[in-house]
Amino acid sequence: MQGNSKSAEEGRSPSSALRAPSPREQGEGEDIAIVGGGIIGICAAAYLTEAGRNVTIFDRTGICEETSSGTAAAFAFSDVLPLAHKGMIRQLPKWLADPLGPLSIPPAYLPKLLPWLFRFWRAGRADLYEASLAAQVGMMRLAEAEWMGLLDRSGTRPMLREDGSLEFYESEAEFRASLPSWAARERFGIGFRHVEGEELAGLQPGLSPRFVKATFVPGWKTVADPKLLGKAVWAYAEGLGARFEKTRIERVDAGQDGATLTLADGTTRRARQLIIAAGAWSHLLAKNLGERIPLETERGYNTTLPKTAFDVKRQLIFSRHGFVITPLETGLRVGGAVELGGIERPPNFARSKAMLEKAKAFLPGLDPAGGREWMGFRPSLPDSLPVIGGARNSASVFYAFGHGHLGLTQSAATGRLIRDLVLGQTPPIDLAPFSPQRF
């Protein structure tokens, strides 16, 4: 194995990049190839270059240009509850009845989706739900610790915002229905307080009176802009020697001593180790390697308004309506929603418009003009846990995808875990619940 095993905590400055010639420089192909330049691939590259490895990211578009660029910017470390739970499954019929509501399934896509939906429903069984919840709690503790370290090492801590979030209720009944989920979070030491009246008005002035209560989560963090953060962490990895190549990877093949990538122009590239971090497209490449991973996409939409649209104090969460409002350094982002519609269908921006209309009703002073609409593909597994682990048939290939709603939040932890796996070190959490072979 090439490279030293210097710990990520020690870091490594660009000027200290004295190292042995890489396999690439010796004409032997890549040391480590990562397919995917989203936030997961970027963080994996950062951790691996810190450890002295030579990394090349291959992406068809660019660094942090697709789904990871348009998130709601939340470091949702307290968001530990798996999506498949009885409360959610009970809501499904109501949500599906509204084609522009929080959740939709284009009817033509339903037959293809049924096996995933079946697994999702099964993941809501009490024992499986509890197992996913415990795994998610461990992952989130690691996620927070790793992001705080990576923010410091990459000089990006000024992009962190620690002003918490507010989650709203329109009736006492809705508030009471939310209590079991808060009790579950309390069990894991997640801090929050329920607020109303003047305290609520102080935390977010200008709210519609339809909101009778809210829950304030002070530990909730966001970032100034997810695209800028991704690019800044990449600049740090690039400073440590990481490279980027813009190309589509058509297929991957692997044996015990390395992997072969076939590029869009038909040429091939060898790599000692390969990491597949291709977001919602990852399962297509994993299929080349004999894996059957039930990855679906939960498409999400938003509109980014000019910053002046409204003075939003912190992230505002409208769970019943399936969207959030985030104040970014670069604008005011209104978005969310889940559309289980696959990776090929064109976007339906009526969904962004529907959320924007609601935002205007919830914050009556909001100016909805001048927005930019966007859609992204959440890569989602039915048990709400990502896939982090080695390939079935090759010790040279690792998977890092399927983070669903939490890819930004869990990206530094995933980078750390992938580094440990690649270096043959013991990871700090049990990776069995995240195994690519668990399905």
> Which one, 38 or 124, has the nearer CB to ligand FAD?
38
> Which one, 3 or 70, has the nearer CB to ligand FAD?
70
> Which one, 76 or 366, has the nearer CB to ligand FAD?
76
- Tokens standing for residue 88: 């959610």
Cα dihedral sign for 237, 243, 244, 247?
negative
Q: Minimum Å distance from CB 246 to ligand FAD?
A: 9
- Tokens standing for residue 365: 């002073």
> Which one, 175 or 216, has the nearer CB to ligand FAD?
216
Q: Minimum Å distance from CB 40 to ligand FAD?
A: 4
The torsion of the CA quartet 10, 232, 69, 53, rounded to 10 degrees, works out to -40
Q: Minimum Å distance from CB 318 to ligand FAD?
A: 14
Q: Minimum Å distance from CB 392 to ligand FAD?
A: 20
Residues found near ligand FAD in the complex (CB under 6 A)? 35-41, 58-61, 65-68, 71-74, 76, 248-249, 277-281, 300, 302, 335-336, 376-379, 401, 403-409
Q: Minimum Å distance from CB 374 to ligand FAD?
A: 8
Residue 108 corresponds to which amino acid? A
Contacts of 266 (CB under 8 A, 6+ apart): none
Q: Minimum Å distance from CB 377 to ligand FAD?
A: 6
- The angle at the Cα of 401, spanning 377 to 439, to the nearest 5 degrees, equals 105
Residue 375 corresponds to which amino acid? M
Residue 275 corresponds to which amino acid? I
Q: Minimum Å distance from CB 327 to ligand FAD?
A: 13
Report the distance separating Cα 217 and Cα 236, nearest Å. Answer: 31
> Which one, 70 or 258, has the nearer CB to ligand FAD?
70
Burial class (CB in 10 A: 0-12, 13-18, 19+), 307: middle
> Which one, 38 or 258, has the nearer CB to ligand FAD?
38
Nearest one of 299, 285, 380 to 35, comparing CA atoms: 285
Nearest one of 214, 241, 197 to 6, comparing CA atoms: 241
> Which one, 123 or 328, has the nearer CB to ligand FAD?
328
Are the CB atoms for 132 and 119 separated by under 8 Å?
no
Burial class (CB in 10 A: 0-12, 13-18, 19+), 21: exposed
> Which one, 85 or 405, has the nearer CB to ligand FAD?
405
DSSP H or E segment with residue 339: strand 331-339
The three-state secondary structure class of 56 is strand
Q: Minimum Å distance from CB 416 to ligand FAD?
A: 15
